[in-house]
Amino acid sequence: MQQFKQLFAAAAISMTFTVAAHAETVLTVHYPMPGFFKDVMDTISKKFMEENPDVKITFANPSATYEEGIQTIMRQAGTAEMPDLTFIGLNRLRMVSERDIPVDLGPFLAKDGNMAEQGFSDNILKLAQVGGKQVGLAFATSNPIMYYNADLVRKAGGNPDSPPKTWDEVIALGGKIKALGDGNEGIDFRWQGDDWMFSALLFGAGGHMLNEDESKVAFNGTEGEKAIAVLDRMVKEGGLPVLTKQAGEQAFVAGKVGFAFQTTGALRNTIKNVGSKFDLRTAHIPLIDPENGTLPTGGNAVVILTRDAEKQAAAWKFAKFAAGPYGASVVVPGTGYVPNNELAATSPEYLANFYKENSLFRAGLEQMPRMMPWYAFPGTNSVKVTQSIVENLSRVVEQTATPQEALEDAAAEVEGLLPRS
């Protein structure tokens, strides 16, 4: 009987070790914009789980936009509903950091050692830093590019092999495309939704959103005046109609718009939706100041939210994997975003050959030296600030206000929303 008890105890211990060895750490992951990222997330998580069988990735319901995503995380923060990781728009990292919602990744970076050897250069790491704190790792990064319909450019007398390099040239050719009639429009400029494309004009003029100490608005200076004047000229001279984001996309892929200006992250979907309807090309977006102009970095970063130590270790593995060379090699061809990992960008194992063979993707890659962080407004009113800018841009597009009136009103409204020291 004693021998039986000993055998039973040994078997129980053996089973305990077996269960522990196969126990899974389950991570719940939230992400925005499933139209861009669902296939990408599925591919990355599948590969990660194959290489890390002790971790299971499950997905929370994705959010339609970055703005909806940040509102979801703000509501769920500190509750049982909060996911273990999320992907947050780069311009909203400051918002969650100021509320101490994300886990500081500094200790993980220090423990890992030289992150540059894994493709995470200091410049790449800085994209997801707030006040020196590593809030996340940049996952999908983008810059705004010019998409154009080479067939319409040719019909309007332009040379599609030498696309416009200045806004004057874009507006002039856009007006000629509009004049072709048959429902054609010259330009679709993605001003709706957030301040990113306004930033492309403002930063491209060498301007800034706020002054150095962030106490006053700076986008209403000379650079801002030049930026909003370009938008106004697109409407008056370049054939920019009043369209929703979706309607603009549909019109372009249907072959009825000459130039579309938006994120390089939309490239894969655009290629798919255009198909063989027309000759699709891409090029650099013009800069108002070619010498000093820069471009905002769009996209998102993977952020760890869980406070559970065991889950944090697994979450760090997943974050590095998603933002690492393999993740980038899935994101770039799957979307059009530019590589956020230097190993991915230069290694033949990942993307070097892809860029050689896919010319449409090169515009965003070539613009990477111009990229600077997407500006994040301080304080609790950052979403309202963005809404104010967009609403005033809409007045220019709808021609219900002059550019100067819209700019002055936006500046006054934003100034009133800034935090008071």
Q: Is the pLDDT of residue 14 over 90?
A: no
pTM of the model: 0.85
**Which tokens go with 266?**
């939309």
Q: What is the mean pLDDT of residues 146-157?
A: 98
Contact 408, 368 (CB under 8 A): no
At residue 167, φ and ψ (nearest 5 deg) are: -65, -35
Return the minimum-mean-pLDDT range out of 121-125, 178-182, 197-201: 121-125
Helix (H, G, I), strand (E, B) or coil at 85: strand
List pLDDT tens digits, range 290-339: 999 999 999 999 999 999 999 999 999 999 999 999 999 999 999 999 99
Q: What is the mean pLDDT of residues 380-390?
A: 93
Supply the pLDDT for residue 373: 87
Alpha helix ranges (H) inside 293-420: 309-323, 325-335, 342-346, 352-357, 362-366, 382-397, 403-417
Supply the pLDDT for residue 8: 43
Q: What is the chain's mean pLDDT, rounded?
A: 92
CA 146/CA 419 separation, integer angstroms: 36
Supply the pLDDT for residue 67: 87
User: At 20, is the pLDDT very low, low, confident or very high (cuts 50, 70, 90)?
Assistant: very low
Supply the pLDDT for residue 227: 98
CA 175/CA 191 separation, integer angstroms: 19
User: At 11, is the pLDDT very low, low, confident or very high (cuts 50, 70, 90)?
Assistant: very low
Supply the pLDDT for residue 153: 98
Q: What is the mean pLDDT of residues 56-70?
A: 94
Name which residue leads in pLDDT, 118 or 261: 261
Q: What is the mean pLDDT of residues 205-233?
A: 96
User: DSSP for 135-194?
Assistant: --EEEEEE-EEEEEEHHHHHHTT--TTS---SHHHHHHHHHHHHTT-TT-EEEEE--SSS
Return the minimum-mean-pLDDT range out of 6-10, 117-121, 162-166, 408-412: 6-10
- Which percentage of the chain shows pLDDT scores above 90? 83
Contact 384, 410 (CB under 8 A): no
Choose among 220, 272, 224, 233: nearest CA to 249.
272
CA 92/CA 376 separation, integer angstroms: 6
What is the tally of helices (H) and strands (E) in the chain? 19, 12
List pLDDT tens digits, range 221-277: 999 999 999 999 999 999 999 999 999 999 999 999 999 999 999 999 999 999 999
Q: Is the pLDDT of residue 114 over 90?
A: no
Supply the pLDDT for residue 48: 98
User: At 10, is the pLDDT very low, low, confident or very high (cuts 50, 70, 90)?
Assistant: very low
- Which percentage of the chain shows pLDDT scores above 70? 94
User: At 123, is the pLDDT very low, low, confident or very high (cuts 50, 70, 90)?
Assistant: confident
Choose among 349, 384, 376, 351: nearest CA to 365.
351
List pLDDT tens digits, range 361-370: 999 999 998 9
Q: Is the pLDDT of residue 12 over 80?
A: no
Q: What is the mean pLDDT of residues 15-33?
A: 72
Q: Is the pLDDT of residue 75 over 70?
A: yes
Q: What is the mean pLDDT of residues 331-349?
A: 89
Q: Is the pLDDT of residue 23 over 80?
A: no
